[in-house]
Structure 1
Amino acid sequence: MKIKGASCENGFTGFKEITSYTENIKEEMGASGAALVILQDDRIMHEWYAGTHHFEQGAREIDAASRFNVYSVRVTYIGLALAIAVKEGYLKLDDKLRDYLNEYDPEILGETTIRHLVTRSTGLKFRENNVFRVFDLGTNLEGKRPDLLAKVLYKATGFTVNEWISEKVCKQLKLENTGWVTEGERHLVCDVTSPKSYPTLRIGSNIGDERNLYVNARELATWGNLHLNKGRFEGRQVLPREVFDLATSVQSPNSVPSTFPKFGFFWWIKDDDVTYEYNELGSNLPYGSYQILGASGCSCLVIPKFNAVAVRMYNSLNESKDFDYVKDIQSFGNIVASSLARFSRRNEK
């Protein structure tokens, strides 16, 4: 990928709106730092950084080397690990969970499959070594359980998520600022809940099943671009195209109501019109777009229609009821889409 730098391509000023929006949301959600990268046609078209790693005196300024905890964005890394395992024949998407999660009651797991797990439609509630059914299989949406998917991957392949992704992806793409963090270092951005809060780092194991994946903005954009290009990187096919066809196409079972959001391997995918009360995808995003959002405000948005990826980074865990996370991420997607549409029209003239 060719890095173009932090200014708008060829003097285009249409990305000012999304930059201004990103900066305003930084203040509104109480983040100390933010980053924005917009990539199109394998080039960074716009790049912006603001703030510091935390609110304390002497905090490092946010720059291209700053690594944010991406929280739920990590589920797409676990999802891709599974998609690779499916392609390589270690398991099948419609394998039963009871064949992999032996610690849970097989009768309650029943006909629940890996497909239900990656599309958030198992209808199950897991608590320690107990499992309960809370709604009929494949009829509603639930929270993400990537830790269970990590167990499935290990049972099928003998590799942890971190081992699998490091070998299959990170080494191929030369991603040196992506990884599950086990100790602190100067490029890690702290989590904050308010300007008066004590900054923290979420440190954990390097297995790949915990919420401690830290990535810088450029490498998250590279991650999205790998999906956009269906496994091609710098002119070579580093992973089979079929892996990405699987991970970024709708995999939700047909039993899920048509008005509900649809998912690939944890990616939210813009498909049919959605009236479900919770939907992270902006109404103006073109069909076929897909996105993932993390608790700290980090997100990765892929828009195939414009051959583009938009990444934003924040470090706020402020759970204020006054901040509407759904409205925010929808607005972000809509502004990105309108900016890219203007840029495309400008180039057609």
Structure 2
Amino acid sequence: MTGIVAYPKRHVPRGEDFLLLSPTAQAHAYRNVDRMFATRAIRRGSSVLPLERGQEISPRYQAAQGACDVDAYMDRANVAGLLVIRHEKIVLERYSLGLEENVRWSSMSMIKSLTATLAGAALQQGAIASLDDAVSKYIPALRGCAYDAVTIRHLITMSSGVRWNEDYTDRNSDVNRYSKSLGDKAPGGVLALMRSLKAEHRPGSQFNYNTGDTYVLGSLISAATGKTLADYMSETIWSGLGMEYDAFYTLESEAGQEIGGSRAGIALRDFGRFGVFLLRNGVVDGTPVLPPDWVEHAGRPAFVLDAATNRYGATGYGYSWWLDPDGSMVAVGFAGQSLYVNRKNKVVIVTLSCQPQPPYSAAYDVDLQTEYHAFKNAVLATCG
């Protein structure tokens, strides 16, 4: 008699629930994005950019409950990975919540800033003629819809004017419809969603945070370069700069288009190396990967923001980079992910977290935005 052999399986949450997970599931999901969604590897090269070790810093800051050190910050802010680089030397590196040095943690929306940087590379190489080119010049499938009047510049500054709801708690919001399409791995599903959206404002007139805009941007870069987004990232930055580990982009479907705006998987130190790439003004081995003024323009406000009304406390938004009150560039992601690049002081801070979201956050008594900025300021004070 032939029996049925039951093999063990590793459980992961449903992809469509990715933005709605309980604190119990967050850390597991963020370490296992490649088990939840289709992905494509961003390949590293044959050598690794060395990051020397400097004297470890011990920043302390004041919270409502009293003085806090690094360990207290990690506990209070649900931090899984913390990295501080000063003058290209690691001065602080910590891991928690199951994150290890070689584990790729979900970037969430931090990848928006990295994807937008590829637009600079394509501009430098001539694959994109101008940031003022129409989206439909590169993606004919978007002719005749709201994106027909949108330019690349509008995409990278979140000012497409297309109506979009980024409410993570509403299962029927545009961002959760997008998330469900990813979880279902539906070929062409995201592009169909983007085509269905209506124009709400004149392109370029208003800032409206839109994850779908960066999906369109990633698709445009692929069309302009004739390469997958993952291969183009590998070719232009990942392999040449010397990342330590392969990373990955999430795909809309098996073997489909990369999702340029969320859920990529990257190791902690490699996020830091991307910050170093920007400190070097986008130059790799003496070769400019980006136009000479790209990083400067990326870090200028295309839109001035009220710090009290956005999730980071930013005072502006540039080329898909949030701008810190101190003028630094910050890639920001859902649930506490951030890549802070302070070009003036040559400081990079990477924070990977799994901060509780509604409705679970109602029971959490830490003001996470205030906590982050207090710690960041303590790091800068300690670095001198």
CA distance in 2, matches of 1:79, 1:63: 28
8 Å contact from structure 2 (residues 113, 319) kept in 1:
yes
Amino acid at match of 2:51: K
8 Å contact from structure 1 (residues 300, 309) kept in 2:
yes
SS of the aligned residue for 1:312 comes to strand
Residue matched to 1:131: 197
Residue matched to 1:340: 380
Cα offset for 1:116?
0.9
Match of 2:110 among 62, 66, 73: 73
RMSD: 3.4
- Answering whether residue 123 of structure 2 is matched by residue 86 of structure 1, we say yes
Cα offset for 1:317?
6.8
Cα offset for 1:315?
4.2
Residue matched to 1:290: 329
SS of the aligned residue for 2:158 comes to coil
CA distance in 2, matches of 1:72, 1:205: 21
Residue matched to 1:3: 52
8 Å contact from structure 1 (residues 123, 142) kept in 2:
no
Amino acid at match of 2:219: K
- Which TM-score applies when normalising by structure 2? 0.65
CA distance in 2, matches of 1:4, 1:165: 27
Matches within 5 A, 1:102-113: 102-106=140-144, 108-109=146-147, 111-113=149-151
Cα offset for 1:122?
1.0
The alignment of Structure 1 onto Structure 2 pairs a total of residues equal to 289
Residue matched to 1:143: 210
For 1:294-341, what per-residue CA distance to the aligned partner results, in whole angstroms no more than 9, with x for missing partners?
Answer: 224221111123210000112467443527999524541342123312
- Answering whether residue 156 of structure 2 is matched by residue 118 of structure 1, we say yes
SS of the aligned residue for 1:125 comes to coil
| CA shift in 2, pair 1:329/1:217, >3 Å | farther
- Answering whether residue 336 of structure 2 is matched by residue 303 of structure 1, we say no
CA distance in 2, matches of 1:101, 1:251: 27
- Which TM-score applies when normalising by structure 1? 0.71
| CA shift in 2, pair 1:24/1:154, >3 Å | same
| CA shift in 2, pair 1:39/1:296, >3 Å | same
More helix by share: 2
Matches within 5 A, 1:256-271: 256=303, 261-270=315-324
- Answering whether residue 204 of structure 2 is matched by residue 153 of structure 1, we say no
CA distance in 2, matches of 1:23, 1:230: 34
Amino acid at match of 1:231: G
| CA shift in 2, pair 1:324/1:207, >3 Å | farther
8 Å contact from structure 1 (residues 248, 269) kept in 2:
no
For 1:90-144, what per-residue CA distance to the aligned partner results, in whole angstroms no more than 9, with x for missing partners?
Answer: 2211111232332235374454211111111111137353231122332232323
CA distance in 1, matches of 2:104, 2:335: 13
Amino acid at match of 2:56: C
| CA shift in 2, pair 1:325/1:139, >3 Å | farther
| CA shift in 2, pair 1:75/1:178, >3 Å | farther
Amino acid at match of 1:113: T
CA distance in 2, matches of 1:131, 1:76: 23
| CA shift in 2, pair 1:181/1:140, >3 Å | closer
8 Å contact from structure 1 (residues 87, 243) kept in 2:
no
Residue matched to 1:23: 75
Matches within 5 A, 1:86-235: 86-91=123-128, 92-106=130-144, 108-109=146-147, 111-125=149-163, 127-137=193-203, 138-144=205-211, 145-180=213-248, 205=255, 207-209=257-259, 211-232=262-283
Identity within the alignment, %: 18
Cα offset for 1:173?
2.0
CA distance in 2, matches of 1:265, 1:100: 19
| CA shift in 2, pair 1:108/1:13, >3 Å | closer
Which structure is richer in relative contact order (CA contacts within 8 A, separation 6 or more)?
2
Residue matched to 1:48: 94
| CA shift in 2, pair 1:293/1:108, >3 Å | closer
| CA shift in 2, pair 1:111/1:105, >3 Å | closer
Amino acid at match of 2:53: K
8 Å contact from structure 2 (residues 81, 352) kept in 1:
yes
Amino acid at match of 2:322: W
Amino acid at match of 2:80: A
Moved more, 124-133 or 156-165: 124-133
Residue matched to 2:12: none
8 Å contact from structure 1 (residues 150, 161) kept in 2:
yes
8 Å contact from structure 2 (residues 76, 366) kept in 1:
no
CA distance in 2, matches of 1:108, 1:224: 34
| CA shift in 2, pair 1:75/1:128, >3 Å | closer
Matches within 5 A, 1:57-68: 62-68=99-105
